[in-house]
Amino acid sequence: MTAVTTIETPTVATSSRGPRGLLWTMLRVHRSALWFWVLLVAFGAGALLWAHGPAADAAWAEFRRMGCDSGQPVLGCDYIGTAYDRYDTFSTLGAGVLGLAPFLAAAWAGGALIGRELENGTAQLAWTQSVTPARWLAAKLAVPAALLATGTLTLTLLHRMLWSADGQLRLAMGSQDWYEGSTFQANGTLATAYALLGLAVGVLAGLLQRRALPALGTAVVGLALLATSIGTLRPYLWPVETLTAKDGYPEYIGMVLGDGALTSTGARVSDPMCIDNAKCLAEHDIVGFYRDYHPSSHFWPLQLMETGIVLAVTGLAVLIAFRLVKRRTGAVA
């Protein structure tokens, strides 16, 4: 308890000088987490920049040596060579930082930011001084939120730059499509939204558990459940487009939600799996086939709709956190 008092006493004294003192003290106390985040963002940015520059140049050179840029089908052009493998590894690492950030934020917020201070009693000590519970919680949310948003937005812009520059290379090598999980999240507003959700869930878990380790586990599990639940809604957040064809399924480029056969009345039925058998098709009254899908033009509508949901859940978690603090402390502001 002596070590805890030595570390946390400046928090109370400095915070008495006003909001700026409270924010500065928070940065000082959690400087290890701050440096870790800065280094993590730097690592992700370095990986994306390397993929965009030297790694992409080497992959393009390998692509041309294989004769794959002739516009004609060439045997072996679907083979991912070592240069492209390095390019894909660096781009995956950059996107991986964005995918990992929400869970790191949730674990840190639940364990170190809130749970540990409530467990050690330093938060309660601060509340008895000039720092009101609401102001204490606002600082705990605002400072990490600003740092998280800055870092994730930086990585998102770099990832979009990489994705836009080398689309033909990835398409030729059969890499990830625009709608696949990590790519979809890293190319838009979702990476930042989920990072803020992780922070809010972690703070709420810390207030509920009031102990570091249980709060850490609760935050990570809670965020995983929320992210999975929201992710399952993604294909249904915007109206799909439908393609039809008489002879077989129509060609498409995008996220497929469903397909099947069409009868003469326009009804949708399961594919009888006899596309080359005219007699079978006639027996089932099949006159064509359909596919429901999201084209690449639906990226931003889907992205913004899901972002809105994530931010709404984040706001709800923050509101619950403030109400919980008010109910437990009886504080008005």
Q: Is residue 273 part of a domain?
A: no
What pLDDT score was predicted for residue 63? 78
Please tell me which residue, 296 or 25, carries the higher pLDDT value.
296
| pLDDT per position as a tens digit, 78-123 | 556 788 888 889 999 999 999 999 999 999 999 999 998 888 888 7
- DSSP string computed for 14-27: HHTT-HHHHHHHHH
Q: In what order do the strands lie in the sheet with 254-263?
A: 241-245, 286-295, 254-263, 268-269
Q: Is the C-alpha dihedral spanning 141, 146, 151, 152 positive or negative?
A: positive
Q: Is residue 208 part of a domain?
A: yes
| pLDDT per position as a tens digit, 283-305 | 888 999 999 999 989 999 999 99
Q: Is residue 277 part of a domain?
A: no
Owning domain of residue 57: 33-68+80-237
Q: pTM, whole model, 2 decimals?
A: 0.86
What pLDDT score was predicted for residue 75? 47
Question: Taking Cα atoms as reference points, which of 321, 320, 246 lies closest to residue 288?
Answer: 246
Q: CA angle, 325 as apex, 322 and 331 as ends, to 5°?
A: 100
Q: Is residue 144 part of a domain?
A: yes
**What would the two tokens of residue 6 be?**
């030595």
Q: Is residue 154 part of a domain?
A: yes
- The Cα-based distances of 297 to 85, 165, 271, 293 in angstroms read 28, 18, 28, 11
CB within 8 Å of 318: residues ≥ 6 apart:
141, 200, 203, 204
Please tell me which residue, 248 or 107, carries the higher pLDDT value.
107
Cβ–Cβ under 8 Å, residues 120 and 8: yes
**What would the two tokens of residue 85 be?**
């493998």
Distance CA 81, CA 59 (A): 8
Q: Of all residues in the chain, what percent carry a pLDDT higher than 90?
A: 52
Q: Is residue 266 part of a domain?
A: no
- Average pLDDT over every residue of 220-233: 96
Buried b (16+ CB within 10 A) or exposed e, 174-191: ebbebbeebbbbbbbbbb
Distance CA 192, CA 215 (A): 22
Distance CA 58, CA 51 (A): 10
Q: Is residue 193 part of a domain?
A: yes
Number of domains in the chain: 1
Q: Is residue 333 part of a domain?
A: no
Sole residue written with tokens 């403030």? 322
What pLDDT score was predicted for residue 8? 39
